[in-house]
Amino acid sequence: MTHFAWPWMFLLLPLPWLLRQLLPPAAPGAALHLPHRVALENVARMRAGVRRWRMWVAVLAWIFAVAAAARPQQMAPPESLTRSGRALMLAVDVSGSMSIQDMPMGAQTVSRFAAVKAIAGDFIARRQGDEVGLVLFGTHAYLLTPLTFDITTVAKQLDGAAIGLAGRETALGDAIVLATRHLAKLPAHPRVLVLLTDGVNTAGSVAPLDAAKLAASAGVRIYTIGIGSADSQAISVFGTRIPGPDEDLDVATLSAIARGTGGKFFRASDADQLADAYRGIDALEPLARGQSLLRPREERYPWPLTAAMLLACTLLPWRALRPRMKMRRAVAQKVPA
């Protein structure tokens, strides 16, 4: 079964006729006066036939072009789709501190952001049936991928993200508000936000705890994950105190955010703990799967568009090009090799 996604485009069909009626007629060309009558009726009749033929070709090409603009689609048979009814937003910190290389992963130590991308990519890949979205935040919070069932695209967007893309500071509250705003638009239940950060709130216009209250009122459960190694301690160099990673992480605020929304705080000092955090979220958020029907649609607009372009090509002044081609051939023959 074929239907048109934008049927209102057919309102453009009378546009050429309206333009012809509204625009002033072209100025008449200079007439050729002959001293004797010449039998040009046959020539005039042939030219009228050519003009009529070109007009109908142009009309047909316009009809095909408008039909292509209306987006014809072929409806496929309905397919069964398993959905969980869960909307999950992933908010990832891309501030400057995420570049610190203190996350053990196997036999090597990688940056915090590299560990997040590796583990979160696998977490997203297992979200079959969930609507998943991606928010990146630094000095500002940005929606990189809206909520979608296309988890492959979400994973690719996360893999292509870079540190500092949203600024070098950390706007925890703004990230929560942005994610909550998009989660609240959907009737899906439950609504889940996974917030990954390695620092404290240093930017933004909304305090993290105020944003958590907004999320709780919207029915959004927040799971917070604190990233960064806990091995190093605070040291002093020439009387200057340098804080260790745990002191850079606002554990109290992250715990309060999770507790106030019915979620949980996870500490991830290495890649294994980060993976455990994702597994813990899976265990705390059981799937309530259901069946729904999905009817795939195949776009058919290339067919009428191709027909319109081929018909338009027949209207080009090909005869006017023949003298030029003959002249070029003659010039090429006269020029010595």
Each residue's pLDDT tens digit, 132-176: 899 998 888 989 988 888 888 888 888 888 887 777 788 889 999
CB 122 within 8 A of CB 128: no
Residue with tokens 């006729």: 17
- DSSP 8-state class, residue 24: P
Q: Residue 269: phi, psi to the nearest 5?
A: -90, -15
Of 304, 284, 270, 295, nearest in space to 105 by CA: 270
At 47 the pLDDT is 62
288 Cβ contact partners less than 8 Å away, ≥ 6 residues apart: 84, 85, 86
pTM, 2 dp = 0.58
Each residue's pLDDT tens digit, 236-268: 444 444 444 445 677 888 899 999 998 888 888
At 212 the pLDDT is 92
d(CA 187, CA 245): 39
d(CA 65, CA 78): 29
- DSSP 8-state class, residue 97: G
Q: Residue 320: phi, psi to the nearest 5?
A: -70, -20
Domain annotation for the chain: domains and CATH numbers: 2-75+298-317 (no CATH), 81-292 (3.40.50.410)
d(CA 206, CA 79): 44
| Beta strands 2-4; 72-75: pairing state | antiparallel
